């Protein structure tokens, strides 16, 4: 459970991987980037943009991967 309206999670991977699992009722915005790797958003986006809580995922994946899913 998140008590704030918005939180930022910095998820970075270097020669490895990060899997983040979030509840379906969270509004997720993935703003990370990949350099010889991948930053992938596999969440369902059925919620309106005004839904709370809003979770912003930032960071980078260098020779690795970050996957956000629910």
Q: Which range has the worst mean pLDDT, 6-10, 26-30, 55-59?
A: 26-30
Q: Tell me the C-alpha distance between 51 and 43, whole Å.
A: 14
- pLDDT at residue 47 is higher than 80: no
- Work out the average pLDDT over 42-57: 80
pLDDT band at 64 (very low <50, low <70, confident <90, very high): very high
Q: Tell me the C-alpha distance between 31 and 60, whole Å.
A: 9
- Pick from 18, 19, 11, 15: which is nearest to 59 by CA? 11
Q: Tell me the C-alpha distance between 6 and 13, whole Å.
A: 23
pTM of the predicted structure, to 2 decimals: 0.80
pLDDT at 52: 75
pLDDT band at 27 (very low <50, low <70, confident <90, very high): confident
């Amino acid at each position: 459970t998140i008590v704030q309206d918005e939180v930022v999670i910095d998820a970075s991977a270097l020669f490895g991987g990060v899997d983040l699992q979030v509840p379906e009722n969270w509004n997720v915005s993935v703003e990370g980037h990949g350099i010889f790797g991948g930053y992938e958003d596999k969440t369902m986006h059925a919620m309106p943009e005004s839904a709370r809580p809003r979770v912003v995922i930032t960071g980078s994946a260098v020779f690795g991967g970050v996957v956000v899913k629910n």
